[in-house]
Structure 1
């Protein structure tokens, strides 16, 4: 049985945007879609606040309405909707174990102010065993305005870290580009060792040699995947500087940004995902896929 694209929904605009994105992704990958609504009981001795009460009301009919709407948009898509009682982070992480990917929504206000990522989102990204895609509320740049002609597919952007084994991350990026018939832009950000900055003449020569070496390392890492996905148009770059800055620049008009998260043997802190992933998640306007590896 095919592993589904799982989407966490709670009636918020961000989660509805995630459901739309997840449905399109499920169609592209020919996978079923699983909508998941988690409800955590809130013990109280008086009337609950407006937030939990609104969520409770939505849980009574919202998932079915959302399912009906998505079935109208995608008649051939296999859609299920599940209501699960439990802490949202635990419910989402459990669902990710049996999913091809998990999609959740985020609220954002732009690159300068950043996304508003709650504790549930951050903890889910840090612990989920499947790739987690965070989708910003609002119309996706992949979807043209009503009546507009669809343009060429937007690129998929991969942030490549050669310091760790990352075949899962590279493979996810190539497959995502392939199902979209989209180009893949690979960004490897690096910095030369500090001692190469001393002695100008030698530094220039060593810098050129190091840059050539980095570009060659990128080509070697990508070569097996190019052979596996020959139809994917590839543009790779090894650039000096902070990787997150280069990724955010490349992601300005991207369909999806793919980054890695190193698995840890010890249980990490709820929001510990690495500084590059943290920066990209808080400032990227495009959807971001965080792929566990290692």
Structure 2
């Protein structure tokens, strides 16, 4: 695998914001930035072939102009560009396989155009095991001091009842790079039968919450020992995980969530919590694949 950050560009405001975020991430990691555009160039039946040539020239000009702007803002950043002829989801997933991370634009709920969070963006997330970061146009695309990310804390959502090492590894490493605090959230639901009486006893509720918090702290111990410089704020709360993450992450620099790797083509490849966070969170969202 090449050490580089890849970013998809389709001309939208969301994808432009994604390229700026990716440039800052590449600087943070000390790796090159790879800008890509993927599109099927073949002209539809009945349309003249030159239509494809016009689109191809437009894509190359867009890539070159964006790369030049990033080089001007970040002289120390190495940037290269490439345009692909093929289905965007498949091509971008292939690009992701050769990168540390791929960054795409996201318009959030209801979008189906381009490779913002719609059919293509979701397909890339499902198709690659590399980290995928989705960035909104509202994310500040202007260069920050020293060309770095804004000084904002990170948030990671974990389910401690399932393996979450890959998600925590990414979150702790990213927080260490940024020298910022890491908020860790584990949201849990009460057992169905408990809700018929015992759950309404504040003593029982407090005991359950204390038990969940203790379990979360146990999970975090080895990571805190590995990353002693990362300040950790851990919270275990009763509630819907997606709602909690979206609310807590409104001012975060990055929200980190996971998705289980599914070998079968049947069934959901992106869980409901991650799906909801991707569609509704305002902050950039990193999706980490794990077993």
TM-score, normalised to structure 2's length? 0.88
- Alignment check: 8 A CA contact 1:7 1:36 kept: yes
> Within 5 A, what are the aligned runs for 1:191-210?
191-200=189-198, 203-210=201-208
Distance 1:191 1:39, change over 3 A: same
**Unmatched segments (≥5 aa) in structure 1:** 109-113
Cα deviation, residue 46, structure 1 = 3.2
Q: How many residues align?
A: 282
Give the structure 2 partner of residue 11 of structure 1.
11
Give the structure 2 partner of residue 292 of structure 1.
289
Give the structure 1 partner of residue 21 of structure 2.
21
> Within 5 A, what are the aligned runs for 1:99-114?
99-108=99-108, 114=109
- What is the root-mean-square deviation of aligned Cα atoms in Å? 2.6
The 10-residue stretch of structure 1 (39-48 or 198-207) with the greater mean CA deviation from structure 2? 198-207
The 10-residue stretch of structure 1 (188-197 or 260-269) with the greater mean CA deviation from structure 2? 260-269
Cα deviation, residue 140, structure 1 = 2.0
Q: Report the Cα distance in structure 2 between the residues aligned to 1:201 and 1:268, rounded to whole angstroms.
A: 36
- Alignment check: 8 A CA contact 1:3 1:31 kept: yes
- Alignment check: 8 A CA contact 1:93 1:129 kept: no
Cα deviation, residue 47, structure 1 = 3.6
> Within 5 A, what are the aligned runs for 1:159-170?
159-170=157-168
Q: Report Cα offsets for 1:60-83 as digits up to 9, x if no partner.
A: 311111111111111111211112
- Alignment check: 8 A CA contact 1:19 1:103 kept: yes
Q: Report the Cα distance in structure 1 between the residues aligned to 2:254 and 2:200, rounded to whole angstroms.
A: 40
Give the structure 1 partner of residue 59 of structure 2.
59
Query: What's the secondary structure of 1:80's corresponding residue?
Result: strand
Give the structure 1 partner of residue 279 of structure 2.
282
TM-score, normalised to structure 1's length? 0.87
Give the structure 2 partner of residue 86 of structure 1.
86
- Alignment check: 8 A CA contact 1:196 1:203 kept: no
Q: Report the Cα distance in structure 2 between the residues aligned to 1:190 and 1:278, rounded to whole angstroms.
A: 17
User: Which one of the candidate residues 246, 249, 260 is aligned to 2:247?
Assistant: 249
Q: Report the Cα distance in structure 2 between the residues aligned to 1:202 and 1:33, rounded to whole angstroms.
A: 53
Query: What's the secondary structure of 2:214's corresponding residue?
Result: helix
Cα deviation, residue 38, structure 1 = 1.1
Query: What's the secondary structure of 1:230's corresponding residue?
Result: coil
Distance 1:58 1:14, change over 3 A: farther
**Unmatched segments (≥5 aa) in structure 2:** 112-116
Distance 1:119 1:5, change over 3 A: same
Cα deviation, residue 103, structure 1 = 0.4
> Within 5 A, what are the aligned runs for 1:212-231?
212-231=210-229
- Alignment check: 8 A CA contact 1:158 1:257 kept: yes
